[in-house]
Chain A
Amino acid sequence: MSSEGSLPAYYEIPPGGAIPEPGSSLKYKTGSWRVLRPVINQDKCVRCRLCWVYCPDAAILELDEEYVTSKGRRYKITYKVNYDYCKGCGVCARECPVNAIEMVPEPIGGEE
């Protein structure tokens, strides 16, 4: 229930159990489900957008950040993983056409 740990009273719940706040699942962090974490190699990444499209959890962020690879190639966008929500399914790593995403074991204890 609520993240504060206290349940709302019956009269506080909207009629019909309606949820008045759209997209409220953002409060629920599914990142704790993860066993393997995807790590994107920004030098290898060709910005094809496939990981962003295939991610079932919208956990790949498409950012307007410039990135220059070690070979001097300039990209206007950068893909990063949102570890708050990534469930570690590995679809991104498997579907990456250039194998730029590696699945590494999550550190024990969950430190970021």
Chain B
Amino acid sequence: MKAFLTLTWTESKLFLREPAATFFTLGFPLLLLFAFGTIFGNGPASAPGNVGYTTRALPGYVALTIGALSLLSLPITLATQRDQGILRRFRVTPLRPTTVLGTQAAVNLFMLVVSTVLLLVAALTYDVPLPSSVLLATGALLFTGTAFLSLGFLLGALMPTARAAQSVGMALFFPMLFLSGAAIPQFLFPDWLTTASLALPLTHVTRLLQDAWLHGQWNGTAALVLAGTGLTSTVVAAWAFQWS
């Protein structure tokens, strides 16, 4: 337990010392919140239905954080640590492999919670209300975060080098950012594009979070897709993972 806590604390500090990871996880979602908040505001007429633009967009910014952690930060960290022989060095200590990987999950979930809290506080500027059910919203956050991080472990297992992880991570992250509804609301999309976006796993994260936060509902379809993605990724990652 001492090893797990010390490693988690150390990795968290290292995470925050990495400018790119900090920007995409903590800075970028806030940037979008304020940019689109300034453009669209949060008035009753700013989006369809009775929900204001920024209130409606907020779960998307959380989804964006989940995407950045899972597609960029986690796989790049794992591939870099493998590349540089850091994982190999850990192997010749009493540290259990599950502790090393569990630490990465803990650090990224911790950063997700920090980013979400920052977003919620910043959103007060636009009078965005707290989710109707805080319990459901928290459950949705941890469920989508955990399921999507499995995808990050899969990428981290499959990518041979840090450079490859970075390129592939970017190539996956940016299309999902724009098409999943995380950054740009889907009510602006043509119908065919909304349908096509269901092929992107991050779309289901966005929808599950939106339904839980805005309507207090559990989106069973999205949950099923994410559970399937998460389990498959975990199994393949566990099979493919290399320490050196």
Asked if chains A and B come from one complex, the reply is no
